[in-house]
Structure 1
Amino acid sequence: MPGSPGSVSLPVGSIPDEHLAVVAIRMEAADRIAAAFGPGAGSAVRGATMAALAELVGSRGTVVRATPDHVAILVDSSVADLDDLVKALSRRLAATIDVGDVSYFVQTHIGVALPDDVPPGTDATGTHRADDLMQAAIAAVHSAFTRGAHLAYASEVSITNLQREVELAAELATAVGEAFTLHYQPIVTVDGLETVGYESLLRWTVDNRVRLPGTFLDAAEETSLIVPIGRWGVGEAIRQLAVWQTESGNPALFMSVNFSSQQLFDRDLAAHISATLAQHSVDGATLWIEVTERDMITADSPASATIHELAALGCVICVDDLGTGYAALRYMVDHPISVAKIDRSLVADMGDDPTKRSIVETVCRLSDELGIVSVAEGVEDRSQVPLLKQVGFTHAQGYLFGRPEPAPSITPPATRV
C-alpha cells in the first residue's frame, strides 16, 4: 500500500498513471538449479531468463528486478496489447533457457495487475501507484503458485486476505502450548453404543473466543508452524489418554489424533511419539493415527515411511474422510491401514441414495474381509443406527453420541467387570 514498509520504487518512466500495468514473474526452479549445479548456475539462469524476457518484451515494456525472487515488466496498456504480451511471455517461459551449451527449464508463475486493479496514484510521479500495482501483481503470483496455476490476475486476489494470513501466521507462532486446547469427541461401538475411544480436535482460543480448525489450519499448513502445533497436539492427547485410562481403569480406551501429510514429513515424529508414549506408559495400540484420504501419500515418500514407523510402534493407522477422493484402495494396498472412517457425506445420504449405500456397503464389506475397523462419521440421528448395523459398520462417531468437549467435561467409561 502507499507508503507501506518495504515498498519498492519502480522506474515508471513516461507511462501515464492511468495506463500503467504490471506483470510479475517468479522463477520457481532457479533455486532447484542452484541446488543441483551450484549458486553460479542458479544466478546465470536467472540472468539469462531476464535477458530472454527483455528481448521478448522489447519496446512494449520495461523489465526490472522488483524483488530478489520477482521480475517485473512495466507496461503502457494504451500502447501495448497486454493480452498478447502475456500470451507471448507464457509461451517463452514454457521453453528452455540456454546458458552456454546447457538448456534449463525454469518453472515460473505469472501475476498480472491491470490499471483498474488499484486506485489512482497519490503523487505526481505515479511511484506509489507503481508500487501498489507491483504488490498486486506479486499477490497474483502467490495465488497462481498456491493454486498450482501458471497465471493469475490481481483482480482475483484479495490483498487484505493475504495480509490477514501473514498476521495469522504470526499469531499462530506465539500460540503453541498457550492458546491451543484440545476437545474430545467420543467414538462408540455400533452394536452396544458404548464409548471405546475419543478423537482429539484442536481448538484455538483468542480473546475468549474459540476458533475451529477450519479458520487457522490452512495458514499453519502453508508454514512450518503445523509441525510444532502437531507435536504439541499429539503430546497433549497422549497425556490426557493416560489420565483417562488410569481414572477409568480401562487400558483399552484409545485416542485418535489427526495428522496432515506435511506433519508426517517430520522425520522425527515417530521418535517423538514413541518417547511420549513411554513417558506416560501408554500402549501404542491405543493411539490412532488419522490421515485424510485427500492427502495423497505415495508409497515411497518420507510421509509413508513415517506411517510405517508409527505402525511398527503398534499405533493404529486410520484413513479419515474415506469416500471424498479416489485413494481408498491405494491406501489399503500401500499402507498398514487398520481403520477406515467413512465420510459423513456418504453416511448421511445412504438411507435415501441407493448408489451411496452400495458404495458404503462395499467399503464395509472390504474392510471386514481385510480385518479393518469401519467407522461411520457424522451420525446425528438415532434412526441412522439400525442402518449402520445393516451395512456393516463396527463403530460410529457424531453429535448423536456426543459433541466435542474439553477434557474436564468428560467422564470416560470404566472397564466392565
Structure 2
Amino acid sequence: MTAIAVAADPYHRAAVAYGRAESALIADEFVDQVLRPVSSAARFEQRSAFEWLIWLSAHDPGLAGLIDAARGHLLSRQVEYGGVARFLDICMGVAVGADLPEAGTARAVTDCADAALSTAILQHQTVVFADPLTPEQIRKDVDIATRLSRSGGNDFVLYYQPIVTLSDHRTVGYESLLRWNTEAGLLSPEVFLAVAEDTSLIVPIGRHAISEAIRALATVVVPTIGEHSFVSLNLSAQQLWDPTIARSVRDQIDANAVAARQVWIEIRENDAVDLGTPAARAVEQLHEIGCTICIDDLGSGFSALRYVRDLPVDVVKVDKTLIDGVLDDPASEALVHAIRDVAQSTGIAMVAEGVDDAALAPALRELGFEFAQGYLFGQPSPLPR
C-alpha cells in the first residue's frame, strides 16, 4: 500500500487572508477538484479540516497523477472557489510501502507518510517521499528537543579553537564552539543545533554561550594573549531575530570590561539575513556597538557577495571546501582569488578555515590571508584556567 499525507494551508496564509472557515472550504475544493478525480480507486480519509490521508494500492498509476497534480498546483497555488480563484498552499508526504520494508503495517506506513509530510512543511517543499530513516529521524529530533528543553545552562560548555596569524602561527584569538554535556557524552552542534534552532531553544542556549565566551575573553584570553586578542561568537539567524540580542551582547561586554572590537560576531553564509529585516538590523546594531562582524563558511552557499554589499562586514572566513582546493583545484583557486580581490578592495580581513595541511600555509599567505584556523594549529578544547 501507498499512503499520502496531505496538509492544506500548512503555513496558515489562506486562513489569514480569507478566515479559517473559508480556507477550510477552499481546501475541500482543492481535494475535490484536483486530487479525487486522479484515481477512482484511491481511498480518502479526512483527518481534520486541513488534512487528508490518501490510500492507494501498490500498483495504482494514480500515484504519479497525484504527485503531478500537487506539483502542478505549485505553479499557481490557485483553487477555484465560488467562481473566484483563491490562494492555497499544499504539502504532501508520500510513503510507498514497497520501498519501506520496515513498515509492515498500515500504522507504520502512515507514520512514514506523516514524517515525510513534516519534512515537506519544514523544508517548504510540495512533495517529500519517505525513506526508512524518516520516522526515526523525527523521533530523534523530538527526543533531542525534549532533552534540550530540560537542560540548564550548566549542561552546555564551550570549546575554543585557536585562530592564528599566518605570518608566524601565533594565536591571536579563538572561535567559541558550543558543546552539550549529556549522559551519552559530549555532543557537538551537528547533533542538536538544527533542532535547537527549529524550536527556538537556541535563544536561551545562545545567551548562556555569549555570557560564557565574553567572560572567558576577559578572564583567560586577554590576560594570556593580550589586549588585541578576540573571541568569536556564532549567532544563527534565529538568534539575530531576537530583538534584545544586541543589548544582551553589549551588557556582557560592559559587565566584563572588554573592548567591543574583541568580540567577533560570526554569521553563517547560508543563514538568511535579508536587508531590512530585524536580523539585519541586529547585525547593524552589533556593528554600531563596535563588534567585529564576520561572515562564516564563505563559499559554502550563495549569499556572500550580497552580505558584503548589504551588511557591515569586517572579516570573511573562507570555507574549508575552497581552502582544500587551493593547491590542486583551479576552480577553487579562482574562487579564492575572486574573494581575495573583493576583500582587499573593501578592506575586509580574511581567515582560512579548516587548515589541516602545513603545505597550505605558504600558499594562503601569498593569497593574502592574514589569519587561519584548523587542526594544523589546534583542535577545539577547553581554555586553560
TM-score higher than 0.5 here? yes
Is this contact kept in 1: 2:352–2:372, CA < 8 A? yes
1:109 to 2:85 alignment = no
1:43 to 2:19 alignment = no
Deviation string for 1:347-389 (max 9, x for gaps)?
Answer: 2221233443343233224322322111111222433332222
Relative to the length of structure 1, the TM-score reads 0.82
Moved more, 330-339 or 316-325: 316-325
Is this contact kept in 1: 2:74–2:126, CA < 8 A? no
Match of 1:298 in 2: 274
Q: One-letter code of the match for 1:137?
A: A
Q: One-letter code of the match for 1:326?
A: F
Match of 2:45 in 1: 64
**Which of 210, 228, 233 does residue 257 from structure 1 map onto?**
233
In the aligned structure 2, how far is the partner of 1:328 from the partner of 1:21?
Answer: 43
Q: One-letter code of the match for 1:104?
A: R
Deviation string for 1:320-366 (max 9, x for gaps)?
Answer: 11122332222111110000111122222212334433432332243
Match of 1:140 in 2: 116
In the aligned structure 2, how far is the partner of 1:278 from the partner of 1:311?
Answer: 15
Is this contact kept in 2: 1:285–1:314, CA < 8 A? yes
Deviation string for 1:237-275 (max 9, x for gaps)?
Answer: 112112125634833321101122222222221122122
Match of 2:142 in 1: 166
Matches within 5 A, 1:195-344: 195-207=171-183, 209-244=185-220, 247-248=223-224, 250-344=226-320
Is this contact kept in 2: 1:53–1:63, CA < 8 A? no
Relative to the length of structure 2, the TM-score reads 0.88
In the aligned structure 1, how far is the partner of 2:327 from the partner of 2:103?
Answer: 58
In the aligned structure 2, how far is the partner of 1:247 from the partner of 1:30?
Answer: 51
In the aligned structure 1, how far is the partner of 2:222 from the partner of 2:35?
Answer: 70
CA RMSD of aligned residues (A): 2.7
Match of 1:190 in 2: 166
Secondary structure in 2 aligned to 1:196?
strand
Unaligned runs of 5+ in 2: none
Deviation string for 1:150-197 (max 9, x for gaps)?
Answer: 222334653122211111111122224132100001112222322221
In the aligned structure 1, how far is the partner of 2:169 from the partner of 2:367?
Answer: 16
In the aligned structure 2, how far is the partner of 1:226 from the partner of 1:381?
Answer: 34
Secondary structure in 2 aligned to 1:216?
helix
Q: One-letter code of the match for 1:181?
A: V
Match of 2:4 in 1: 23
Is this contact kept in 2: 1:339–1:374, CA < 8 A? yes
